[in-house]
Amino acid sequence: MNNLGESHSWMTYVEIPDLGSHDAKQTFTVSFGDSEGIISTNGSCCIYPFQFHFTVDWSYTGSECTERNVGAEIVDWKDENFNSDTLPHDLSAILISLDQLRISKDNEATFSKWHLDTLSNEIDLFRDLSSDGSCKIANLTLARLLIAKDMVSHGFPLMGKRIHSQEVLDLFDGLMKMDPPHSQYYKDEHSLVLMDQITSEKEELRKRCSHYRTPSSSSHAQYVCLRLNRLSLSRIGFFERLLWVQMLDLSHNEVRSIEGLEAMQLLCCLNLSNNKIRSFSALGPLRLIKSLRVLDISNNEIGAHSTDSTRYAWPSPLSHNTEEYMKDVEQTAHWEAILLFKGLILTQLDVKGNAVADESLQALLPRVLPTLKWLDRSVPTGYGSGRSCRFDEVWEAFFRLSSTARD
């Protein structure tokens, strides 16, 4: 849930105390009542009661991501370790998204022929205006109209083929060249359209899935990895369609923010290497993913840019005014790293290739993450010694300086 109280997903846990006494498959029913406080992404209130059913197959445990098997061996993200030809036959069941759920037809919102005709007429008009390729406003408006028509043509289909996706992508490509000062905005919109296209079409999504397997691998042999690497993505989204993903590869893109990724509560292995992440703070959503065990953030831009200290209302390690309070706390220089990694249970972490990855950070991380077995693909110094970072001193100093500043 974000600061505005919006959420793309809800999660609950079902505890089965004695699995042996239950059938291999069980059906669950989820019911929603009349709840005006729940508003869909298209702005409609949930004013009709509805329910949906799903079946859990307890016998399928091959892709289960547990603390035991994740920490058994190092994860290697090389291309040769991923094979789409060995995907399990029942992968289609995994790809079924809750976005396919529908309110009963009696209550389902419908769009009149007049609405669709109006959209079509507007599209034709702006196609004429943009025919010479020189009008930025016409091209941008046309792209938005095409996106809207894809959404409403079948009653807001969240999963299904996007008829106009390629045309919209071409329009944003042209806008990036036509209007360089705003190219980042067009790049972000292009990325979201591409993400929507990939995650809404089952066959397209299946093409991006691969089996993770190394020659010596055993515990990871059943992992299905969603590979969204090398797509030039600058913005990512639609995580509510990817709640089933346990292994995700977003490497070699242009990602700056991972906002929304916290919805993927089953995620245990994440590759964010070779992106444009500028600070540990940009990785804040990872603190909410308690299942995360493997993280690769190598070759980003962490530490290469100065921190905007004007965001802080009182002195803090990030506003460079803590010397008199924290002279004896060596972790001050890597305050953001401590805030990010404290509470995570990582067994493997890669940070090399970032400006911040100096010797002091290398020495600090094993103390912040006592569960860490591999740091930059090597056994960290002091592994197994039981040493941990003195967080009591850090927090005490921080709250002391905060109270003093407020007084």
Co-location of 335 and 253 in the same domain: yes
- pTM (predicted TM-score): 0.78
Q: Is 208 exposed, middle or buried (0-12, 13-18, 19+ CB in 10 A)?
A: middle
**What is the per-residue pLDDT for 179?**
95
Strand 45-46, strand 35-39: pairing:
antiparallel
Mean pLDDT, residues 328-353: 84
Co-location of 295 and 346 in the same domain: yes
**What is the per-residue pLDDT for 63?**
46
* DSSP states of 65-79: --HHHHTTS-----G
The yes-or-no verdict on residue 368 having pLDDT over 60 is yes
Q: What is the CATH number of the domain that holds 79?
A: 3.80.10.10
Structurally, how many domains does the chain consist of?
Answer: 3
- What is the average pLDDT value for the chain, to the nearest integer? 78
Position with higher pLDDT, 53 vs 157: 53
CA atoms within 13 A on the CB side of 393: 11
Rounded CA-CA distance 240/245 in Å is: 11
Token couple for 177: 């060249």
Co-location of 54 and 6 in the same domain: yes
Co-location of 143 and 256 in the same domain: no
pLDDT in tens, 266-312: 999 999 999 999 999 999 999 999 999 999 999 999 988 766 544 44
Co-location of 349 and 279 in the same domain: yes
Co-location of 347 and 232 in the same domain: yes
In a domain, 310, yes or no: no
What is the Cα gyration radius of the chain?
24
Q: What are phi and psi of 34, to 5 degrees?
A: -75, 100
Domain span holding position 361? 67-97+224-305+330-389
**What is the per-residue pLDDT for 253?**
98
Co-location of 129 and 237 in the same domain: no
Mean pLDDT, residues 306-331: 47
Co-location of 9 and 139 in the same domain: no
Rounded CA-CA distance 334/362 in Å is: 11
Question: How many other C-beta atoms can be found within 10 angstroms of the C-beta atom of residue 32?
Answer: 13
The yes-or-no verdict on residue 369 having pLDDT over 80 is yes
Co-location of 296 and 234 in the same domain: yes
Co-location of 286 and 338 in the same domain: yes
In a domain, 371, yes or no: yes
**What is the per-residue pLDDT for 26?**
77
In a domain, 336, yes or no: yes
Q: With pLDDT > 70 as the criterion, what percentage of the chain qualifies? A: 62
Q: What are phi and psi of 225, to 5 degrees?
A: -110, 135
Q: What is the CATH number of the domain that holds 173?
A: 1.25.40
Co-location of 233 and 85 in the same domain: yes
**What is the per-residue pLDDT for 108?**
46
The yes-or-no verdict on residue 362 having pLDDT over 80 is yes
pLDDT tier at 217, thresholds 50, 70, 90: low
In a domain, 296, yes or no: yes
**What is the per-residue pLDDT for 310?**
46
Number of H helices, E strands in the chain: 10, 12
Cα three-residue angle 149-154-159, rounded to 5 degrees: 95
**The residue type at 162:** R
Strand partners, 31: 51
Strand partners, 296: 271, 350
**What is the per-residue pLDDT for 341?**
95
Co-location of 40 and 73 in the same domain: no
Question: How many Å separate Cα 298 from the centre of its chain?
Answer: 17
**What is the per-residue pLDDT for 249?**
98
Strand partners, 55: 27
In a domain, 213, yes or no: no
In a domain, 86, yes or no: yes
In a domain, 105, yes or no: no
In a domain, 76, yes or no: yes
pLDDT tier at 392, thresholds 50, 70, 90: low
Position with higher pLDDT, 369 vs 108: 369
| Cα–Cα distances in angstroms (integers) from residue 323 to residues 222, 255, 305, 329, 349, in the given order | 51, 34, 22, 10, 30
